[in-house]
Amino acid sequence: MNRMESASREKSACFTGHRPDQLRGVAADDLRLELQNLIESAVQEGYTTFYCGMAMGTDILAGELAAALREQYPWVRLVAVVPFPEQSRGWPAEWKERYQALLQKCDDAVVLLPRSRPGGYHLRNRYMVDRSALLIGVYNGAPKGGTAYTVKYAQKKGLEIRLLRPESCRR
């Protein structure tokens, strides 16, 4: 990572959460508001750098919300952590557009691998957790999957963890 490498771990947070297919039935406006409140609380507590894994669903939503908060809190920095350049290949057009728009709003972008490979998403998640003191996310409690892996890794690394349960935002 170039200019953002010096970001203080103690003032950094990262995002995790489910993809759109696991958020069906969730009231999008409620989820957006709850997630915005978590991110804004972190900013008010002194967190200045937010790492975003740029996946469809929670990652992109959280990144968009953090970027929007910069109007009120201009010191907030957003770092895209991309596992490999073709991450958005095969995505629906709406998500590709949101991905590209968010990438343009990021202060920095880190691409970890030259191409997709097994374990690439876990590498991305570890990269973000290793540079953060706080994990913010949306997690349904399922014992397996990328979000579960990231939450467990963050627990192992001693991060503070603030999670929304999707069922709390049901229609």
Question: pLDDT for 102-111, tens place per residue?
Answer: 999 999 999 9
Arithmetic mean of pLDDT, 31-50? 95
Percent of the chain with pLDDT over 70: 89
Percent of the chain clearing pLDDT 90 (strictly above): 76
DSSP string, 33-90: HHHHHHHHHHHHTT--EEEE---TTHHHHHHHHHHHHTTT-TT-EEEEEESSTTTTTT
| Residue 94 predicted with pLDDT over 60 | yes
Question: Is the pLDDT higher at 67 or at 142?
Answer: 67
The CATH T-level fold of domain 13-169 is Rossmann fold (3.40.50)
Domain-wise residue ranges, the chain: 13-169
> How many other CB atoms are there within 10 angstroms of residue 170's CB atom?
11
